[in-house]
Amino acid sequence: MSEMWVNMGPQHPMTHGLWNLRVRIEGEVIKDVEPEMGYLHRGIEKISEDRHYNEIITLMDRTCYVAGLAWEQLFIVAAEQALHITPPERAEYIRVLSAEFQRIASHIMWYAAFVQDIGLMTPFLYGMRDRDLILDLFQSYTGGRLTYEYMRVGGVRNDLPLGLTDRCRKVCDWLMDRFVEYDRLCLSSTPFHERCDGLGVLEAPEAIAYGVTGPMLRSAGSRRDLRKDRPYSVYDKLQFDVATATTADVTGRYLVRMEEMRQAVRIIRQCLDWLDDHPGPVMAAQLPRWLGAPYAPVGNEAYLLKRNYPTGVGFSMVEEPHGEAGAYIVNDGGEHPYRVKFRSPVLINIWASKRYLPGYRVADIPPIMGSVDVCVGECDR
Amino acid sequence: MSTITLFSASDAIAAFLLAHIAYVFPAPVKGWITSGDVVLGLASLIFGVILLGASMINTIMLIWWERKLLGRFMDRRGAMHVGFAGLLQNFADGLKLFRKDTFRPSKADSLGFWMSPTAYMVTSVVIFGILPISTGWNGGSLPLTLLLALVIFSFAPLFIFLGAWASNNKYALIGGMRSAAQMIAYEVPILLAVVAVVVLSGSFNLTTIVLEQRNYWFWAPLFLALIVFLTGMLAEMERIPFDLPEAEAELVEGWNTEYGGMLFAFFMLADYVRYLVGSILVVLLFLGGWTLPTYVPSALTSFPLAGIFWFMVKAYLVFGGFVWVRASLPRIRTDQLLRLGWMRMVPLALLSVVLAALVVAAHCLPVLGCVPSMGG
């Protein structure tokens, strides 16, 4: 059969979102690929210029709809830097707890979607079932299951309800059992290895050259993890290992994510112990008045406020479930940021597909692209 | 008590009907209407309608069975709300598909596009006419039923490829080509596995093959052939792990991407007809058909229609095995599938033919006993 271009997207079961992978195939062999992004662009960076800092948090939930709290944390770290606010330590621990639970939820979501891509239906439903437990936890202390709007500049919205830490511990125990089950369903099955071993290989030097981060980079043996290399929040006080693999292929990414979930449980357990022992405030005491205001001030007041507060620049990098996310905020003294810029790890990881897809077969596209963990919301922003 | 067969029942119904309408007609017509030929003709028609209805209902029940089983494997319940335990859910789904608009993409080839689902459906359903369900419950005991069934069963890739090509869709075309390659590749091990059964039973007649399993079922000496046959059937049925012609992750829906509404329902129904036929063939060839082992208490085999009952139980259990495989295995790739077919299945099938020949040479096996036609 001669060469032809096939559009895998924008509406295609492989894409997990709204994007288009144009593939040039000869028979079943991939010759070239061309990702087309932008179908889900909502102008979040631009909208942010017209929002209160605390209102931008609602946008962060919608940036990546499977890792809302991780993106809230990303924005909060940069915003607090730009506004010269220090949150209380308890709030930091609650944020780390939330972010790590979010990491597990996101990785389980990835697992469910990924196994669906290679034709396994049962683990998909197991994954969704177990993710629900984490969403239940989120619901009980943030009120939301998908869009949380929980973190605030200067802390978090509310403290954990009574008894939540014990519930979290129970969920952690249950999850640790389930991870064993996940591995048994996948790693112990020969067809799984036939579909995943040696596919989508992206070695560490190439990955770094492309700017690929997160589990994709760590699966190539690199030990880069922002939580260790550039610790933010309270990660420097917590013990955990960086999950790595050596094969740089789909199976490697699977192993890295599975190990990351176990390490996340380890971090969560430490956070829970700390939170039990250290009650205290969860919001900073000295906050600008307008940060607590529900609505933007109108008229002259906004002009006046603009004069009254310090200016600053905030930059944060966070090890988000998909990779390294970055936020850059310029505060020119107003109640809105002057400019906001986000770095999406998924966008870079998808663009590197020009390197790691050609040469494989059409049937390999779903496992390979599935192993990237695509979240188009953060990709297009 | 004379045994009721499906044909004698249809014959009785036809004779009854004709006798009761005949009196309104004048004498010559009356005589002709009640003559043997007309009764036979109507009886054949009624026979066909009953068979079609039974097979369709069984097919739809098979979908229910798969949904419920899959649900349990996946820690959920499956269809629950329409009818008792969701029994009517698939009828409701069928009705919904029936009411949907059926359309053809403007660039698709009209003849091939419409013909493919129809031909696929018809060639799948026709096999029911020749499969013996129980003694006397078949359309006719031809000497080469097994061969005929397999021949009709292997028509499918032709019509699938026709529909895929006519759809004028790249996904459909890739799916159609995969389907054709896969089905043709797995014909070979299936036929070789069947040869092992034929060697042992000495017949191509499915009824005879079942009756030859009076002393022991053929899966015991021909375990290898059973494995090959089951694997081959999975590939022929295009079920996970061999469902790559319709691998939804990369090919959307494979060869039936462009089919919607009733045409899709035709494909899906025909697929399940093929699943049912596949399970039935396994039961007929390896699991003793409608017979039960002799040590089973006779109360279990003497109630009315016991043969059909046990036959269907076995067929549904075999299909349950296929569902179990679907619930636990991922999909493999085309090259892996073809390699498995030619490098593993064909040698294994050849080995099983040799084993069957050895069993025949030995006449009687130590524990199992003898095949009746060989002096048992």
The answer to ipTM > 0.90 is no
Cβ distance of B252 and A191 shorter than 8 Å: no
User: Which pLDDT tens digit goes with each residue over A223-255?
Assistant: 888 888 888 888 889 988 988 888 888 999 999
Q: Are B231 and B341 in contact (CB under 8 A)?
A: no
Cβ within 8 Å of residue B60, ≥6 positions away: B90, B91, B94, B269, B272
Cβ distance of A118 and B330 shorter than 8 Å: yes
Query: Is the predicted pLDDT of residue B240 greater than 70, yes or no?
Result: yes
**Contact residues, chain B, for A185 at CB < 8 Å:** 328
* Shortest Cα distance, chain B CAs vs residue A118, angstroms: 6
Query: How would residue A294 be classed by pLDDT, with cut points 50, 70 and 90?
Result: very low
CA nearest to A264, candidates A374, A132, A99, A64: A99
This prediction's pTM: 0.84
Average pLDDT over residues B91-105: 86
Cβ within 8 Å of residue A142, ≥6 positions away: A69, A98, A148, A149, A150, A157
Query: Is the predicted pLDDT of residue B102 greater than 90, yes or no?
Result: no
Query: Is the predicted pLDDT of residue B134 greater than 90, yes or no?
Result: no
Cβ distance of B332 and A362 shorter than 8 Å: no
**Contact residues, chain A, for B333 at CB < 8 Å:** 194-195, 361, 363-364
Residue-by-residue DSSP string for A41-72: ---HHHHHTTS-HHHHHHHHHHHSTT-HHHHH
Roughly how many angstroms between the first and final C-alpha of chain B, as a whole number? 28
DSSP label of B108: S
Three-state DSSP at A192 gives helix
Query: How would residue A98 be classed by pLDDT, with cut points 50, 70 and 90?
Result: very high
| pLDDT mean across residues, chain A | 85
Six-digit token string for A25:
């195939």
**Contact residues, chain B, for A28 at CB < 8 Å:** 174, 334
Beta bridge partners of A302: none
Query: How would residue B141 be classed by pLDDT, with cut points 50, 70 and 90?
Result: low
Percent of chain B with pLDDT over 70: 94
Q: Positive or negative, the Cα torsion across A142, A144, A149, A151?
A: positive
Query: Is the predicted pLDDT of residue A104 greater than 90, yes or no?
Result: yes
Cβ distance of A363 and B244 shorter than 8 Å: yes
Q: Are B127 and B281 in contact (CB under 8 A)?
A: no
Q: Are B169 and B204 in contact (CB under 8 A)?
A: no
Q: What is the pLDDT of residue A135?
A: 92
User: Which pLDDT tens digit goes with each residue over A254-274?
Assistant: 999 999 999 999 999 999 999
| pLDDT mean across residues, chain B | 83
Average pLDDT over residues A131-152: 89
CA nearest to B111, candidates B174, B163, B161: B163
User: Which of the residue ranges A31-35, A96-100, A164-168, A301-305 would you say has the lowest mean pLDDT?
Assistant: A301-305
Q: What is the pLDDT of residue A153?
A: 84
For each of the domains in chain A, give its residue range(s) and CATH number, in order of start: 43-355 (1.10.645.10)
Q: What is the pLDDT of residue B137?
A: 67
Instruction: Return the residue in B171, B325, B333, B340 with the most chain A beta carbons within 10 A, the one to mutate for interface testing.
Output: B333
Q: What is the pLDDT of residue A267?
A: 92
Q: Which H helix or E strand runs over A325?
A: strand A323-331
Average pLDDT over residues B324-343: 86
What is the spatial distance between Cα B46 and Cα B36, in angstroms, rounded to a whole number?
A: 15
CA nearest to A248, candidates A202, A195, A193: A202
User: Which pLDDT tens digit goes with each residue over B276-285?
Assistant: 988 989 998 8
**Contact residues, chain B, for A251 at CB < 8 Å:** none
Q: What is the pLDDT of residue B1?
A: 36
Does B7 or B105 have the greater pLDDT score? B105
For A233, B59, B152, B315, B345, the CA distances from B274, given in Å and listed in that order, are 60, 9, 11, 12, 21
DSSP label of B343: I
Cβ distance of B331 and A362 shorter than 8 Å: no
Q: What is the pLDDT of residue A13?
A: 77
Cβ distance of B249 and A13 shorter than 8 Å: yes
